[in-house]
Chain A
Amino acid sequence: MQKGIESLSTIDLSCHHCGDVCDDDGIYIDDYIFCCHGCQSVYQILSDHELSNYYQYATTPGVSRRREGEKTYEYLDDSEIVHRLTTFSEGSLSRVQLELPQIHCSACIWLLEHLHQINDGIRNVTVRFAKRIAHITFDHTRISLRSLVELLDDIGYAPKIHLELLDKGKKTTEIDKVLLYKIGIAGFCFGNIMLLSFPEYLGFKHASHLFYLGYVNIILSTPVLVYAGADYLKSAWKSIVKGRLNVDVPIAIGILALYIRSIVEIISGLGEGYLDSMAGLVFFLLIGRWFQSMTYRSLDFNRNYTAYFPIAATVKCAKEWITKPLQKVMPGDHLLIRNRELIPADGILKIGKGRMDYSFVTGESDIISKEVGDLLYAGGRHMGESIEMVVTKKVDQSYLTQLWSDDIFKHQSISDTSKTVTTISKYFTLVIGMIAVVSFAMWSHIGAGKAIEIFTSVLIVACPCALALSIPFTYGNIMRLLANRGLYLRNVSTIEHLQEIDTIIFDKTGTLTDPHELAIQYHGRVLTEEEKSLIKSGCFHSSHPMSKAVVRHLASQSIIEVDYYKDHIGMGYVARIGTHELKVGSSAYIFGTATSHQQSGVFIEINDEYLGHFKCNHAFRNGASKLIERLGAQYEIGMISGDGQQDKERILSLMPTAKIVSFNQKPKDKLRVIKDLQEEGHKVMMIGDGLNDAGALKQSDVGIVISDAVNNFSPSCDGILAADQFSHLGKYLLYFRCAKRVLYGAFAISLIYNIVGLYYATTGQLSPVVAAILMPLSSITVIVYGVVLSYGVFAWLFANDKTEPSNQ
């Protein structure tokens, strides 16, 4: 693709690096235009090192550098931090694993894997696209970790270095290789045993004279039992020791019965045994496990605040600024917070004007101003010139972070085993045991040998392989289908929890409301058409988001030319249009700071007469009222918010049937509200978005996080819902309830197979061929049924829904 003079001659003024539209101050270099110096310097670095191919693999592959603040990586000089970040170090070579969220196309991969052209201290870069991770091997005698990170930042791939990395740096979450080994070995043995048993399937009775076939089968099946199937035996043993009967118990009994009886038969020359069935059984079970584990490895459902907090802070020490690892920051330390840096611990503002963005904590995107002496809570991002603060609490004891010291975060309650299957298998095992004993007793008059044969046949044929496969395939498929529609669940047992809930609690800001949409309401004297256009014309010149919202609100008015305009940033503006004097701004700007009731909003004064004010609220998300109405018919609904009461009426009109509507809830209070509901016997689903919901999300039976960018941000939860799919939540819940019926169908099928098998077993007709047909057939029926029907229900439910699947 040639992009040069030709494209410049047209009106295409998008930045060559990032594709943003360039303003008048675009920079021209080598016939390309760049929107800012950041983008231009990336281009410069790349073309200096013959890496401008980057721009050939994708059009405008870069990420805009315009809004990037200055970042410092001084803390990477600290040897302890460096040591904890490197995953491997030997001789002069070190290896780090860095998360680069900007990776988004093949050009990114190409560039990062050619970094050695910029600095030959970098030996090797391997990119994991799905996880947005780069594994970098470098020579630390030639390039320090700090220079490496700075280089990445310079070319537009600033790594995300957070506190979490210090603990997780050495732990890589690769896929389960052992499971793949097991599948490979079980598959190999299964195929070969079947092949060797083939003469017998075709009825060549003489084949059994080839006695060594049986011994080859024994050799082949032993690794299946002791390696591939070992987990089932271990799990069954553990569950028996604990006095519980999970689904692995009948499976293990079946596997052992198959193996032992086959060996006895082969050695005593009575028959060929059932080793093909045994290997097939283990193979199918392992495939089921693999299918279930094929979820979104790129998403992390276990994050806490350390995933968002920086590694180090800038601390004043004997009149000098030094960087200090965050864990060592103590109360009384004097911190420097630069633009766009996070407040790492609670403290008091000492010097400067704080402008805090707590969106990360509360979902509220409005910036809050702080004055000297004000309390700064950990988790806020400072947007503005550097400030200085004194720490009052340790990092893990701050208002936000102490939430994680609650007991709920200490024990891992999430298990991967299904409750339904465990309950069923308990009765299943008991019933099968009884049938086996009864048939043993009934056949014992013929002879002990025959009775033992019948007894083992029952155990073999009753092995609930199909039952164990129904959940992985049915629910595993549902998870996959919903992931395409923007709902990512942690594991299949989340679906079971979702089917049980009867109460849904929402967070307000950022969950029910859309952080990007402002809804405007006017309070005050009715405005004339002329006044409306005056206000619109004035606000048109202001860059404040509220002014912009007012302009959008008065869309039908025309804009008049403004004769005089003066902006008081953060306060308001004065303007003169013709003979009219306009004064618009905050209540303090209009009435002065002396008045007692300060309200937020856009206050309007024309010709020294106060007219009224526009109130700005975050609008409810698209489709929220319909969703609430729909959910309200089936579930108890509630709302808990950390904000003040000003929105109470709006919430009550949105959810008139609400069970709980409470405001001013601290993170710990939210957790307690959920706990109280659970103690009343409710199964609660919490839907939230910010770190302040983390406790409630964890405590609830199912915690779902609403996220605008699925890969970016989510506290610990059971599921992540893409924000644009919020209105479909009701349908998803309906789908889960239908899924329960689908699953019961799968149970019924597997039980029917078991009953057929039991008929053969108790009447003494279970030949190896019957077993070899019946067992794989039952598994395959259940798999096909589960996958096809869950897809069918999905297609039927979402047939009229033409929403584009959200891309993560």
Chain B
Amino acid sequence: MQIILLLIIVSLIIAGGFLVVFLWAVRSGQYDDSETPALKVLIEDDMLTHQKPSN
């Protein structure tokens, strides 16, 4: 049954990893603003070179 102990430790470490990722995401401001990134996703930076108005 000692294997259970090992499994628990491994699973806690993995789950703890996800917790750390979540805390980091909150800390780095990813949850501060959910609207602006949604609008920015359609913007491409190289659009200008392709679509200069025809003269």
- Chain A residues within 8 Å of B, Cβ to Cβ: 2-5, 30-32, 50-53, 56-57, 105-106, 109-110, 113, 127-130, 174-175, 177, 180-181, 184-185, 188, 191-192, 195-196, 210, 212-213, 216
Q: What are 20 A-B pairs at a CB distance below 8 A?
A: A2-B53, A5-B54, A53-B51, A56-B47, A56-B51, A106-B40, A109-B39, A128-B32, A128-B33, A128-B36, A129-B33, A177-B31, A181-B26, A184-B22, A184-B26, A188-B18, A188-B19, A192-B11, A210-B1, A212-B5
CB distance from A459 to the nearest CB of B (A): 30
Instruction: Give the CA-CA distance A4 to B53 in the complex, in Å.
Output: 7
Instruction: Give the CA-CA distance A212 to B15 in the complex, in Å.
Output: 19
- Chain A's closest residue to B31 (CB) is A180
B15 in contact with A4 (CB, 8 Å): no
Instruction: Give the CA-CA distance A31 to B53 in the complex, in Å.
Output: 9
- Chain B residues 11 to 55 lying within 8 A of chain A, measured CB to CB, are 11-12, 15-16, 18-19, 22-23, 26-27, 31-33, 35-36, 39-40, 42-43, 47-48, 51-55
Task: List, in ascending order, chain A residues with CB within 8 A of B43's CB.
Answer: 57, 106, 109-110
CB distance from B9 to the nearest CB of A (A): 9
Known contacts A129-B36, A175-B32, A181 near B48 by CB under 8 Å: no
A196 in contact with B8 (CB, 8 Å): yes
B53 in contact with A3 (CB, 8 Å): yes
Task: List, in ascending order, chain A residues with CB within 8 A of B19's CB.
Answer: 184-185, 188
Task: List, in ascending order, chain A residues with CB within 8 A of B36's CB.
Answer: 109, 127-130
Residue of A3, A191, A216 near B8 (CB, 8 A) is: A216
A129 in contact with B48 (CB, 8 Å): no
The SS class assigned to the B binding surface is: helix
B35 in contact with A129 (CB, 8 Å): yes
B33 in contact with A130 (CB, 8 Å): yes
Residue of B12, B39, B54 near A2 (CB, 8 A) is: B54
- Chain B residues within 8 Å of A, Cβ to Cβ: 1, 4-5, 8, 11-12, 15-16, 18-19, 22-23, 26-27, 31-33, 35-36, 39-40, 42-43, 47-48, 51-55
Task: List, in ascending order, chain B residues with CB within 8 A of A191's CB.
Answer: 15
Instruction: Give the CA-CA distance A303 to B47 in the complex, in Å.
Output: 41
CB distance from A39 to the nearest CB of B (A): 16
Known contacts A184-B26, A188-B15, A216-B8, A4 near B54 by CB under 8 Å: yes
- Chain B's closest residue to A177 (CB) is B26
A30 in contact with B53 (CB, 8 Å): yes
B8 in contact with A175 (CB, 8 Å): no
Most buried by A among B43, B52, B55: B43
Residue of B1, B12, B23, B51 near A192 (CB, 8 A) is: B12
Known contacts A106-B39, A192-B15, A53 near B48 by CB under 8 Å: yes
- Chain B's closest residue to A216 (CB) is B8
Instruction: Give the CA-CA distance A174 to B47 in the complex, in Å.
Output: 33
Residue of B4, B33, B47, B53 near A210 (CB, 8 A) is: B4
Known contacts A130-B33, A181-B23, A188-B19, A106 near B54 by CB under 8 Å: no
Task: List, in ascending order, chain A residues with CB within 8 A of B52's CB.
Answer: 52
Task: List, in ascending order, chain A residues with CB within 8 A of B8's CB.
Answer: 196, 213, 216
Task: List, in ascending order, chain B residues with CB within 8 A of A109's CB.
Answer: 36, 39-40, 43
Q: Return the 6 tightest CB-CB contacts between A and B, nearest first.
A: A129-B36, A106-B39, A188-B19, A53-B48, A180-B26, A130-B35
Residue of B26, B42, B55 near A31 (CB, 8 A) is: B55
Instruction: Give the CA-CA distance A210 to B7 in the complex, in Å.
Output: 13
CB distance from A243 to the nearest CB of B (A): 37
Task: List, in ascending order, chain B residues with CB within 8 A of A196's CB.
Answer: 8
- Chain B's closest residue to A1 (CB) is B51
Instruction: Give the CA-CA distance A748 to B13 in the complex, in Å.
Output: 42
Task: List, in ascending order, chain A residues with CB within 8 A of B11's CB.
Answer: 192, 195
B27 in contact with A177 (CB, 8 Å): yes
Task: List, in ascending order, chain A residues with CB within 8 A of B15's CB.
Answer: 188, 191-192
